[in-house]
Structure 1
Amino acid sequence: MKKIIIAIDGLSGCGKSTTAKSVAQALKYAYIDSGAMYRAVTLHFLNQHTNLRNIEQIRQSLERVNIDFHVNEADGTQRIFLNGQDVEDEIRGMEVTESVSEVSKIKEVRQALVAKQRRLGADKGVVMDGRDIGTVVFPHAELKVFMSAKLEVRAERRLNELKERGQSADLAQIRDNLAKRDHMDSTRAESPLVKAIDAVEIDTSDLRFEEQVTKILELAGQKMN
């Protein structure tokens, strides 16, 4: 059975990451959360007080970024490390969430992270989720999925996710942030969020988590065989 690349793109809060993780675990594939990489860079820029309108500052700041994923072999959970520090929880907070779309549209940031993502998926056997995986990072991926969900559903999911992490948040603020990110991600000049022509769209608004995973595993099985 051949190894393939599975590219999962879609809107914020539609379940991309959790679904991609489960698909990767079921196939014994590597899972790469590209969104976490952009969040880590955003956190780095915030910590370094990087001026997002100063290209030279951005380039210098990027040179000091080292991103790694560490997997706990006992339970399969994955955490992201920024310059040797575990920042998995920190990058999910609202401060980073409010700034990540602004950072993600910077050409130099996208070029640096796309290059790293391509290296990570060079040997295939990878599930990667994000916003430009099937259109820019891996345009020749064997399976491309575009996930969507209603705004209200996504806001509720994000609120519950933050609560589970012990973080306080306001539903209206989350909804407004998601709507803002949808607009910024889909209209930015550099690698905008669009559905690839050959992607399979899955609306998760009324799907149980297990159904989302099963749908993608069935599609992957067809491609692998």
Structure 2
Amino acid sequence: MIIAIDGPAASGKGTLAKRLALHYGLRHLDTGVIYRAVAKAMLDAGADLNDEARAAMVAQTLDPATFDDPALKSQEVGAAASVVSALPKVREALVSFQRQFAEQPPGAVLDGRDIGTVICPQADVKIFVVADPAVRARRRTLEAQARGEPADEAVVLADILKRDERDRNRAAAPLKQADDAHLLDNSHLDIESGVRAAIDIVEAVRAGRLRA
């Protein structure tokens, strides 16, 4: 079974994806981490984030062992990832990796911004997770503070709105809800309620109560 979880950053989709993978005994891939890894490598090298050829080369030589680097969660890397993820050659280089991960038995839960529309359009279940931008900014600020990083909630909100606009309007795999994806508004749900809502969607699709 392949489950595609899409939606904007800090909407809670990452946590939902991890919990769904655990619940169903599937593997999990946060595809945003892949782009963050490319972005961090570009930043570390002092390279121009818009250098498409160089970014694509980095994408082709990624080491999955770096995906657990806590530095990938920083606001700077997140903003840079939004830039490199808009480069067609970078996305092309990483599509194969993501699809191969999804297709390995027994299946997987992938979360990102183009899983249901581009990476796994054949996914068994697609869920599009959203949350109010102000709620997302608060969550992101608390996460940064928990890591000991300074964070201004107003600045974080401005960054979120800017990234959403860029991601929705990029030429390559724009952020949008797939026609057959089920919307889950996570604005006012705690973790447990959000996970339960996501499981309910999966079970309804599997039982034929909702369209796949």
Pair in the same fold by TM > 0.5? yes
Which has the larger helix fraction?
2
Q: How many Å apart are 1:27 and its aligned residue?
A: 1.2
Corresponding residue pairs, total: 206
Partner secondary structure for residue 28 of structure 2: strand
Cα distance in structure 2, aligned partners of 1:209 and 1:62: 32
Q: Does 1:56 align with 2:37?
A: no
CA contact (8 A) 1:13 1:155 kept: yes
Cα distance in structure 2, aligned partners of 1:209 and 1:189: 33
Instruction: Tell me which amino acid in the other structure corresponds to 1:114.
Output: V
Q: Does 1:66 align with 2:63?
A: yes
Which has the larger strand fraction?
1
Q: Does 1:119 align with 2:119?
A: no
Q: Which stretch shows the higher mean deviation, 119-128 or 142-151?
A: 119-128
Q: Does 1:187 align with 2:187?
A: no
Quote the residue 2:187 is aligned against: 205
TM-score (norm 1): 0.86
Quote the residue 1:169 is aligned against: 151
Q: 1:142 to 1:95 in 2, by over 3 A?
A: same
Instruction: Tell me which amino acid in the other structure corresponds to 1:150.
Output: D
Structure 1 stretches lacking a partner, 5+ long: 69-80
CA contact (8 A) 2:182 2:201 kept: no
2:5 to 5, 8, 14: 8
Cα distance in structure 2, aligned partners of 1:17 and 1:180: 20
Q: How many Å apart are 1:26 and its aligned residue?
A: 1.2
CA contact (8 A) 2:14 2:30 kept: yes
CA contact (8 A) 1:50 1:61 kept: no
Partner secondary structure for residue 57 of structure 1: helix
Instruction: Tell me which amino acid in the other structure corresponds to 2:179.
Output: I
Instruction: Tell me which amino acid in the other structure corresponds to 2:124.
Output: E
Structure 2 stretches lacking a partner, 5+ long: 208-212
Q: How many Å apart are 1:224 and its aligned residue?
A: 4.2
Q: How many Å apart are 1:14 and its aligned residue?
A: 0.5
Counterparts of 1:74-89 in structure 2, within 5 Å, are 81=66, 86-87=68-69, 89=70
Quote the residue 2:210 is aligned against: none
Partner secondary structure for residue 65 of structure 1: coil
Identity of aligned residues (%): 36
Instruction: Tell me which amino acid in the other structure corresponds to 2:46.
Output: H
Quote the residue 1:44 is aligned against: 41
Cα distance in structure 2, aligned partners of 1:29 and 1:118: 15
